[in-house]
Amino acid sequence: MINADNIVDTDLDQIPTGKLIPVANTAYDLRNPTKMAERLPLFKDKPIKGYDNCYCVKIDGDKTTRIARVEHPESGRWLEILTNQPRVQFYTSNNLPDVDNGAAALKGKDGACYVKHGAFCLETQKYPDSMNHDNFPTIF
């Protein structure tokens, strides 16, 4: 779950265009708990094969606010993100090897395997590329 009504629009090179796109009724709408296994297939025909988006989160002024929650019911693990930053980048490891299409997994420490959509990041931040978009507030 990410508490955001919009994402930052980007071009095919992932450079912000300065526009904000509403998430309502799209694959980007994560305002309610959502299973990633059901959502990620929606990106198979898109240029970016998963999430790599800057979400415009709802924060309470400059107060630390809960903007995201991730749950793994099978293990009972959960993660909450609290921030005073107006944006969060959500990325689902789209550029790691696609083992479902025959690629070999990247091997890590102690034999860990790193694969496409096998991990995610939630990175709180200010507006991306704000110096090039007058409608984005300054980051200072």
What structural domains does the chain harbor? 4-132 (2.70.98.10)
This prediction has a pTM of 0.93
| pLDDT tens digits along 53-101 | 999 999 988 899 999 999 999 999 999 999 999 999 999 999 999 999 9
Count CB-CB contacts under 10 A for residue 128: 17
User: Does residue 140 surpass a pLDDT of 90?
Assistant: no
pLDDT for the residue 138:
84
Give the pLDDT confidence score for residue 106 in this predicted structure.
95
pLDDT digit string, tens, across residues 39-54 = 999 999 988 999 999 9
Q: How many CB atoms lie within 10 A of CB 47?
A: 9
